[in-house]
Amino acid sequence: MNPIKSTDHILLKAFLLCLMAACAPDQSADQKIAEVASDQNVLEFMQSFEGRGDLSDDVEPTPPNLTVNLFTHPSDLEIELVLAEPDIFQPVEIGFDHRGRLWVVQYNQYPYPQGLKVTSIDNHLRIQFDKVPEAPPQGQLGADKITFFEDLDNDGTFEKATDAITGLNIATSVILGRGKIWVLNPPYLLAYPDPDDDGIPNGDPVVHLKGFGLEDTHAVANSLTWGPDGWLYGAQGSTTTARISSAVTQDVHFQGQAIWRYHPESKIFEIFAEGGGNTFDVEIDAKGRIYSGDNGTDRGQYYKQGGYYTKIGANMDLTQIPTVLAFYPTWH
């Protein structure tokens, strides 16, 4: 099971799973901030932070059934509404499995992990927390969940929804393989046993990796993807760090953007390549070449194994600043 690739289809189905602005919180933003700030100084900074880019406002969102008519697209493509609120909230990843089930990671806990306090925060929204959360199912239960949907009569509409895993705490990705349900729940890579392939875990997860950073929940580890070589690949965004350990690999440190991989049999973890924008998504083409998206204006880097590319953003190396300024002269 890999994330949906729109280029695979002549008929493009837009999975309008949720309009993020329409996901109404159950409490005010100030109330949430007050609950996670560790002291008054942190609270005042978080309340006064103005944000960047296009921010949401009080305008009511357009209903999903009307939104599909507002897209502009080529005449040989079609957009259909498949799922919307209240059936789904804040999807961060979607993908089909080998049985045609649509898996959705619902990022309801975003932006703050349950049970953690913010001890510091900077202008890039990089946060330090008071502790490292325990791996599920121990510790605080979060609001994230993983749901799969089934089209029982093959009419293109999903009639059945099943919450496969609940109580997750900043979960970003899910993929099936080797009799397991693999879940990225930073700082952990988890594997839930599913030997009967019914999509429901048969027990508690095993922690295969630990150490993915949580400094910025816009940019945490994401996008689990099986490679043709049997390795499990993933990405990490621009404003987080990592110090990864497995059963045999210890303390592999990297800062910011990267493509990484893990071998489930040997238990080896590797950095495949580094660099990019806010690296999100892993794409492997028919020739085995790896690409990723970012939050810029293009599809992101083509990553060669061992490559080290320009890092755009808060975690760029100081040695890269002249190169970055050459590309972005307005940053001078």
Boundaries of every domain in the chain: 1-166
Positions of the chain with pLDDT under 70: 1-31, 51-57, 296-299, 313-332
Q: What is the 3-state secondary structure (H, E, C) of 290-302?
A: EEEECCCCCCCCE
| Cα gap 248→268, rounded to integer Å | 6
Q: What tokens were used for 271? A: 């950095």
**pLDDT tens-place string over residues 193-246:** 999 999 999 999 999 999 999 999 989 999 999 999 999 999 999 899 999 999
Q: State residue 122's pLDDT score.
A: 87
pTM: 0.86
Confidence (pLDDT) at 301 = 81
Q: What is the pLDDT of residues 139-179, one digit of tens each?
A: 999 999 999 999 999 888 899 999 999 999 999 999 999 99
Residue 73, helix vs strand vs coil: coil
Torsion, CA 133, CA 138, CA 144, CA 148, rounded to 10: 140
pLDDT score, position 60: 84
Provide the β-strand partners of residue 314: none
Q: Which residues, in sequence order, are CB contacts of 173 under 8 Å at separation 6+?
A: 92, 93, 105, 183, 184, 221, 222, 223, 224, 234
